[in-house]
A and B are shown apart, each in its own frame.
Chain A
């Protein structure tokens, strides 16, 4: 099946005009599959980290959201140990007007602002709620250890 115009255009723009701290490169053999790198935002416990993600555009895209997953281990209340992300726009708040770029920017924003009230990794969320300082210290440690 040929690639829809939407995906071609988006890919062109991502390459030509990448968002700061984000790169997304499609696989040569599968243009719906992207290798993504997101830099940990400054001022967050993930600062200086380089996080690898995978992003896949399903057959239904853009009517259905892309599938996004962290490949780098990360200590974050909304990201579980399999790398799955709890983010509303990737689920029920998805709009076809959103794009790969906006999705990745939202993921980056999630790193700056963890939301322990809507957790995916419950143990991490508990840690964040009970002792935020200590939890951030662990997040920092993990970033230094895994996200190089």
Chain B
């Protein structure tokens, strides 16, 4: 990473408060313009085993990557920029595939991408107007550079009367060649036949009025999120090159101000169009992933987690570097900001799966499995299965919570035996025991029931702890607010300055981070196969949990002015300790994946199937 700072200690975030910045932030100024200090990614000198190498890229930076690919293609295939862009987009930005295919059959590749007209096809039908003399050349060209904007003079005047209709008119435009008959033009979309109608056409010479082109492009971009915008003529497969779209959407410099609403809509569409291309590029590249946070336009590059196999040994948690929701945090009200944490939450997400938060230390496949299990109603059904029976007559679900085996259904008043489920009347005088049940079957049934109950209890053990930590992490929002209040109090009651009381905030942040780790350790432990490895894992888990709970308690404790120095001392100490424990858990788990130490009790992608004995 380029913008790394040397913060390996506990006060690593401090420079965020005193406003100092790292020296080497020259990397990409655009990023800093947008995000200022927030565009810092927690950095470490040495990569820990539970961390992955990744780069955070702004939209501009991704555009640079795209431009590099496009220029590469330009130089190899000898085509122009816009053509190269269309070819690459059509081939899903796969340069090698494009070059190979292009060498094989340049015409086909180019035509398929909508960059050129089919050479042997019938001449394009020119609607109500002959094409200009340049058309025969342009249809043979391999580029779409020559999109034309034709301004047609008034019908009655000489065709050369308005030579400078707009800046779009290329020099090469041969106005002199147009004949009288061509001047009568009706746009086939809006049927506008006004004189002076400005028209545009791609290389296919299907001319339509500028306004229709604008509406069409805007609707394609806005409604269909389409970056490949084809000619409006029916059956014409030519795709509009980027400069054509830009020229159509953006007002000419110095042009008279037209419809303001329309212009701002067009400009928004152009911005969106560029974003769509970036998204397409990112979507086609396995090394890149778009930040999933709302209205964030950053991209993360993480080549080491691009392959599916790598996800069996690494948990690629990355951060795009931005914080909060939306490009401007100021727009968010104070109370909302508290909701996202004091500065707005870091955009942290997993590169390998759709989980939009940190799920270390568990690998993607297992966390996905766990979330699915928690979301499924199957566990509810499991509980019902182990705790209830159905009335043999009306099928109502009954939970037996005490008493004898003589059941009377509340709903249908049916009397039956809980053990054999037969009618109670047949039991005669054997009031408190049922001996009618086949002995073998009875044992089997009880076995099945207790087995199911045991597995349920096991699941609930892990689930409750998992949910508890999730809940506590959510409650940390309140803790943040309380802590802030406490920090203010401390400044009043003691000689500590604002910067010095940051230890409280740091401690809260650390608690929240560790709770996330703890949460996921429970899903990991649920799926880990029994054995020494699991025991060691659970030892580490226990140590971390204890440390976190201690620190949590300390943070909740009331503040007395005379104890503040001791409190500060012990909170700082505990925070460092908690951080250490968290590192140990993450580090050990990550190393375990690299060494292939972990064995699961279920089948997991990329691992050997579990042995029979651990099931």
Which A residues are closer than 8 A to B by beta carbons? 4-6, 8-10, 60, 62-64, 95-98, 102
Contacts and interface: CB of A to CB of B under 8 A. Distances in A.
Contacts of A62: 189-190
Contacts of B233: 95, 97
Interface string B207-223: 01000100110010001
A95 B234 contact: yes
B191 A96 contact: no
A5 B234 contact: no
A10 B189 CA distance: 10
B201 interface: no
A9 B189 CA distance: 11
Contacts of B188: 97
A61 B435 CA distance: 80
Interface residues of B, number: 18
Contacts of A95: 230, 232-236
A4 B234 contact: no
Count chain B CB atoms within 10 A of each CB in A4, A60, A95, A97 and give the residue with the most: A97
A96 B230 CA distance: 11
B192 interface: yes
Interface of B: 188-192, 206, 208, 212, 215-216, 219, 223, 230, 232-236
Given A95-B233, A96-B232, A97-B233, A63 B219 contact: yes
Contacts of A10: 191
Chain A interface main SS type: loop
Given A64-B219, A96-B212, A6 B191 contact: yes
B191 A9 contact: yes
A70 B478 CA distance: 59
Nearest to B224: A92
A4 B190 contact: yes
B222 to A, nearest CB: 10
Given A5-B190, A95-B234, 14 more contacts: A60-B223, A62-B189, A62-B190, A63-B215, A64-B223, A95-B235, A95-B236, A96-B189, A96-B216, A96-B232, A97-B189, A97-B232, A97-B233, A102-B234
Given A60-B219, A64-B219, A6 B234 contact: no
Nearest to B215: A63
B600 to A, nearest CB: 41
A8 B189 CA distance: 12
Contacts of B206: 97
B598 to A, nearest CB: 47
A97 B234 contact: yes
B190 A6 contact: yes
A104 B230 CA distance: 23
B219 to A, nearest CB: 4
16 contacts: A6-B191, A9-B191, A10-B191, A60-B223, A63-B216, A95-B232, A95-B234, A95-B235, A96-B189, A96-B216, A96-B232, A97-B188, A97-B189, A97-B206, A97-B233, A98-B234
